[in-house]
Each structure stands twice: as C-alpha cells, then as structure tokens.
Amino acid sequence: MKIYLASFLIACFQVMLASSSYSSFTINHLQGLSNSAVLSILQDNQGLMWFGTYDGLNCYDGRTIDVFRTDFSKGLTLDNNIISRIQIASDDKVWVQSYSGVNLFSTDSLSVIDNYVFPDEEVIVFSNRKGDSWIVGKRNLYYYNTYHRCFVKAGAMNLNLENLQQSAYVDGQGGLHIVPVNDTKMIHFSLSSFSADSLQTSLDVTSSPLHSKVIKKTFIQSGVICFIDEADDLYLYDVSKKSKVYIRNVGELYRKYGNFMNVFPFYDDILITLHTGGILRLMASQQYTEDLIRVDLRIFSAYTDNQQGILWMGTDGAGVVKFTKRDALVTNLMLNRMSSSVSGQVRGIMTDRYGTLWVGTKGDGLIRIPDYQKEIDLKTLSVYSPKGKWALTDYVRGPNFYPVFMLKKKTQGDDFWVGMSDSLLYYYSYQSDKLIRVGGSIRYPAEIHGLYEENDSVLWVVTLGSGLIKVVLDKSHEIPEIKRFRRFRCFAEQKELVEYSSLWVQGDSILWLGSRGQGLVRFDIRKYEYQVYSLRTMLGKAVDDVLCLCEYDNNHFFVGTTAGLVSVAINGRNIVPSYIGREQGLVNEMVHGIVKDDAGILWMGTNKGMIKYDPVSGGSYTYYYSKGIEIGEFSDDSYYRSPYNGDLFLGGVDGLLYMNDSQSSIPEYYPEVILRKLIIDREEVNLNRFYSADRKQILLSEEQNTFSLQFVALDYLNS
C-alpha cells in the first residue's frame, strides 16, 4: 500500500509539473547526497556544483558526488557539518559558511585551508565570480585581504537588515550593494584594492535611489533584484541594464499562500517559493497569472545556471531538485499513436500549400495529416492505397502490403507522384482525392525511389531493381498512359547497376544516382551518357553503398552511406570527394537521410540518433533520445524540406520528426571536460601535485607507470 501511494503521489507531481512546462530531476541519497536538507547551492568557476547540506559539503559533477565532513583528526577541517552558504573565493577556492564560522576550502586539494570566526555576531559572506569577498554582519562590515589572507574590518554597520542573505550582492568590480529594509535607496560600498599590503582601509560609501515607495522585501540573485514595496507591488530590477519592470500586485498572493521565502526570474516567468511549501509560477505569457506547482517541496535555496538553463533548488528533505524548461528540439509524429494498425516505417515525406503533411510508409500506403502543425485530430487522418481510401481510425492492414518510397510534387498543379514497389506508376489527384494509376506498365520489377520530370510528358524514374528508366506519357486521355519507356543500362567493372536508392538533379540535365554498392552515377539525359564513380576507390573507405543524396549548392552535394558521410565537390565531369566519419567526429556512420537548413547546417538521420553537422567548422552534435527526440533509428532516403515554410523532416522506423528554422538554429551546449581523479599504482593521489607549472600537462616519474584518470563532461542535462 505504501509503494502504491508513493507511486500515485509521484505521478500526481509529474502531472502538476508537466502542466507548468518544466522538467525536473531529483538528486538525493540514491546519487550519494549526504543529507536531504540542502541549505545552499553554488556552481564554481570550473562548473562543478556544490551543495551545502545539514550534514556535510557535497560536490557533484553530473555523475558522482564527493562528500566532505568535519574531521578533526586532519587538523584544519570544516568547523561544522551544517553548511548554510557557499560562495566563490577564487578560481580554485570557495567560501563554506557553517553555523560556527567561515571556512576557506580548496577545490584543488579538496581540503580546508583556513577557518574564520566572528564571535558574538551574525555574519554572511558575499563575493563575485572573481572572489572579491565581503563579510556583512549586523554590526560590522569586513572585506577579505588576499595579500594577508585575512578578513579586515572595513567599518561599522548601522543599516536595517532584516533578511540579510537576500538583501546584498557583489558586482564584477568588487563593489558591495545592499538594499536596506523600509528604505527607498540602495547603499554602495567600494574599496580601492582587495590585495593591498597595508591593512589600512579606505571605504567609499554612496547611495542611489531605487524606488519611489518604501521597499518592504528584497530578493537578489544573479544580478537581478526582485523587490516588493509598501503597496505590495512586485518589481524586477536588472542591475546590468539598470532597468526596472513592474510585474504585478502580490497582496492577494500573500493572503492566499502566506509568506514568500524567495522570488526570482526563471526564463520569462517569475518563481516564488513559499514558506509553507510549494512554488508559485507567475506566467509571463498570461499576464503573470499564478500557477501553484510542486506543493510537495519546501525550498531552502536556489541557484540558476544560465549556461544550460537549469534552476537548482535545495529542499527541506527532498534533496536537490533541478528544473529546466521543456525545450524539445523537434516535434515527433509517431505512427503507433495515430493508429495501432500502422506499423510500416516512414519512407516518403511531402507537404502541400494547404498545410497538409503526406507520409509514405513501407507497407501501410499513404497517410494524409491535415494541418500537421496544429494539434492533430485523429478523426481527420486518412490512409490511401491503390485499393481506396479509409479513415485512419477504421484502417486495418490485413494481408495487403503497400510500400510508398517516394512522394514528388508535379511541376504543374498540386498533384504529386507516388513511387511504390510494383512496375506501375501512381499519382495522387486532389480533384478525385485518391491514388490514380497511370495507364500501362513499365514491365520491369522495380521499387520507385526517385523521379524527375524533364517536361510534362517525359519522366525519368529511378528504381531499386531495374535501374534508370525513361517514361514517355500520353496525356491525351483524362488519365495519362505510358506511351513508351526505355531502360538505360549502366555498368561498372562488368557489373550492371540496377539498384539505385536516391536521386539528385543538377541543373536540368544531369542526374546523380546513388547506387547500392557501386558508388555514384552521373547521367546526362541530353546525351544519354553516364559515368560511374567508385567512392571506395577514390577514398579508400567502404562508402559505395549509398543511402541518400543531399544538395548543398549547385556544384556541391553530400552523400550518406552505410559507412559515413561523403562531401562531393563537382568540377565539370570530375568530382573531389572527402570523407567524414568517426575519425572526424561523426559518432554514427550509417547515414540514412540528410536535410539542409537555412544556415547550411546538415541534419542527418542515422541508425542511432540524429546528427547535427556543420560543414564549415566540421563540428557535429548527436541526439539520441535527447532534446525531446523519440526516434532512435531513421529510414533510408527519408528526408524533406518544405518549400512553403522551411520545416525540416526526417523519417524513422516508427514515425517522423520535424522542426522549423527557429528550432534548428538553437545553439548547442558543448560541455567542458575536466579531470577529476588520478590513481597511481591503485592509490588515489592529489591530482594537482602532478600538474606542470602551466597546468597543461600531468608529469609522472618513470616508475609511476601504472595509472588511471577519471574525467567528466560537465553536462547536467545529459550526464
């Protein structure tokens, strides 16, 4: 019963969270967190996450957690295990504040360097990313002198500081700024130097107006000040831009939900953590209407990682919860969600000017999806085959098998050609709303994978099984008929090429054909001349099994093969190929489909995920069931770019995905790789003792010849 209740509550929380458009993940004792009450969070200058808990200091790298506790047998140690605050002290040090004092902790040696005690005074440490540090107390103000490595009293404090931790910040130049309670101004403190040889301090104190009304509560995080004035109006002040924005009146929220623990922006929204538990989301898209989420959480601390868009929250008893916006890169259209009767993989893709998406499947014919960019109504979906048309909700495949490999819009009108697996030629008629068979037959067993209209009565048909076929149509009838046809035979090394998977048309007379096993064929439809190019012979790689072709510009195209990507530059009848594979950073080498976006980026469907590839820089990024992508394996030559809106499509074995230009242009996060541990002769040692002076090498003596290194890529969304 307890297990059932826990599962039910988790499901409820996931539903509540889904409605808020955020995703979440919890870090607790299962990942090695020392205590589930997390009082403070910080990301250091290396990118490592530090959690101060009710029982120890924790360092998290996305994979593992190291825990540091008080250990008086070591001499210098944390003075207390209740860690209330963590701040930057320098590139390789952090301030760890406990209920007993302030500790200087080295992130290199992973040890305490010094302890600082401020008797009979409640203090809080503040610093910037450089480590310019201040101690603010109820009575005195201190700064950290890096030359003497001690805190120096800078002056007395006589400000009304009710909620000290959320009322101050240190800017990039080391200036301390405080917003007192029941005041209208901000107080500024500055020093000429944090590293002076003399302990004599010259403190400069100024003030500036912040608001016309008295400020009752202040919440400061990452250079943004949220404050509530005496009229219960909530404002957001951006320090860097010096701009103030009115959010809304929160008097009603106080009365309804109780006191606020923290207020801060996250993406476009404003989040409020409640003293009684839960998070209020003020939704910018709905004039900051409130939405109560995660009522199961009471939040102690929060930290925003702007680089990856993660909000880290330390909770009272639930560990660390990281929030991120649901930022799916693509929209998935999975066949089994449309109908349990549809199981064929996606091969042909096309859109029309009416906003309809047409999907050719390998076995279930042609599927019509009206208004594909809107929420799909299953009742409007249809299935077409040579036997007729059905509503998708009523469709049952039965013994029939109708594969559709190619969809190609006619040059005249809206109708489009449909390439199937028999020797017959079909097209879809909008007027008749059905698949229509062209009269006559090609009389060669073939799968039609490509088609080019030389004019309205001459077609060049690319097949898997019978090679290249020229078809002349008789259009004097209501339904065109095949008047005559001719099969062109191409040979390489005395072997006839009959299996073509793909087609790219250069200009209006050159056909480039992708062969299954024999490389590329260049065919001139004016002269009836051909030339075969073995990429395997030219590159020394097994890249003659071609799955797809993608135009890059008039004299440049890309070839997707079973063993990597090939870039082909055209120089007259000569080509200059270059290979891109694992050695060049391509994780998956079986490239099934390629589509190019406006920025010249290639999006490739592989046998294990989708790859984003930049031909200019040579950089690539692989998505495998990440960024909302639900398709892991893609189909041969199944790709499309809509000429109407630029949407990019890739077909897979169980559905298809699409994205628009705004989605495809989102920059990727390339994580830093850092070394974590060095083990010599099975004993862990201090890694920093083995660095060279410039920290670019690790130096070992000749007898230290058995060692291992642990490293991690600091990606907290895809560990």
pLDDT tens profile 278-288: 999 999 989 99
Listed residues 559, 590, 621: the one ending a domain:
590
In a domain, 219, yes or no: no
Residues 709 and 570 occupy one common structural domain: no
Residues 402 and 532 occupy one common structural domain: yes
Residue 494 per-residue DSSP state: T
Residue range 105-131, pLDDT digits in tens: 999 889 999 999 998 888 999 999 999
In a domain, 83, yes or no: no
Residues 584 and 680 occupy one common structural domain: no
The length of the chain in residues reads 719
Residues 415 and 547 occupy one common structural domain: yes
Torsion of Cα atoms, 99 then 104 then 106 then 111, to 10°: -60
Residues 428 and 556 occupy one common structural domain: yes
In a domain, 84, yes or no: no
In a domain, 482, yes or no: yes
Q: Give yes or no for a contact between 713 and 668, defined as CB atoms under 8 angstroms apart.
A: no
Which CATH number is 387's domain given? 2.130.10.10
Element spanning 266, H or E: strand 260-266
Percentage with pLDDT > 70 across the chain: 97
Task: Give 537-544 contacts, CB < 8 A, sequence gap 24+.
Answer: 538/575, 538/577, 539/566, 539/577, 539/578, 539/579, 541/579, 541/581, 543/519, 543/579, 544/515, 544/517, 544/518, 544/519
**Could you tell me which residues are beta bridge partners of residue 494?**
none
Domain ranges, residue 683: 673-713
Cβ neighbours around 189 below 10 Å, total: 22
Mean pLDDT on 139-160: 91
Nearest to 256 by CA among 288, 291, 228: 291
**Could you tell me which residues are beta bridge partners of residue 159?**
none
Confidence of residue 16 (pLDDT cuts 50, 70, 90): very low
Which pLDDT score is estimated for 267? 87
**Residue 160 scores a pLDDT above 80:** no
Listed residues 590, 625, 645: the one ending a domain:
590
CA 118 vs CA 39, 76, 121: distances in Å: 21, 17, 6
Which pLDDT score is estimated for 121? 83
Q: Give yes or no for a contact between 189 and 141, defined as CB atoms under 8 angstroms apart.
A: yes
**Residue 8 scores a pLDDT above 50:** no
Distance CA 5, CA 13 (A): 12
Mean pLDDT of the chain: 91
Which pLDDT score is estimated for 6? 42
Residue range 394-445, pLDDT digits in tens: 998 878 889 999 999 999 999 999 999 887 899 999 999 999 999 988 888 8
Q: Provide the domain count of the chain.
A: 2
Percentage with pLDDT > 90 across the chain: 77
Distance CA 61, CA 80 (A): 24
Residues 681 and 582 occupy one common structural domain: no
Contact residues for 285 (Cβ-Cβ < 8 A; gap 6+): 268
Mean pLDDT on 213-223: 92
pTM: 0.74
Which pLDDT score is estimated for 473? 95
Mean pLDDT on 544-549: 97
Residues 394 and 505 occupy one common structural domain: yes
Cβ neighbours around 613 below 10 Å, total: 23
Instruction: Decide which of 402 and 325 is more confident.
Output: 402
Collapsed DSSP state (helix, strand, coil) of residue 164:
helix
Residues 554 and 689 occupy one common structural domain: no
Residue range 55-111, pLDDT digits in tens: 999 999 999 999 999 988 878 999 999 999 999 999 999 999 998 999 999 998 899
Residues 546 and 455 occupy one common structural domain: yes
Mean pLDDT on 568-581: 95
Confidence of residue 1 (pLDDT cuts 50, 70, 90): very low
Which pLDDT score is estimated for 297? 93
Amino acid letter for position 357:
L
Listed residues 590, 621, 649: the one ending a domain:
590
In a domain, 134, yes or no: no
In a domain, 14, yes or no: no
CA 338 vs CA 391, 405, 635, 656: distances in Å: 11, 20, 19, 12
**Minimum mean pLDDT range among 64-73, 175-184, 623-632:** 623-632
Residues 357 and 457 occupy one common structural domain: yes
Q: Give yes or no for a contact between 551 and 596, defined as CB atoms under 8 angstroms apart.
A: yes
Which pLDDT score is estimated for 93? 96
The residue written with tokens 């250069």 in the block is 506
* HEC assignment per residue over 596-663: ECCCCCEEEEECCEEEEECCCCCCEEEECCCCCCCCCCEEEEEEEECCCCCCEEEEECCEEEEECHHH
Mean pLDDT on 381-397: 92
The residue written with tokens 């001690």 in the block is 150
In a domain, 311, yes or no: no
Distance CA 424, CA 515 (A): 22
Mean pLDDT on 585-589: 89
Which pLDDT score is estimated for 341? 87
Residues 398 and 526 occupy one common structural domain: yes
CA 256 vs CA 231, 252, 253, 264, 295: distances in Å: 17, 6, 5, 19, 14
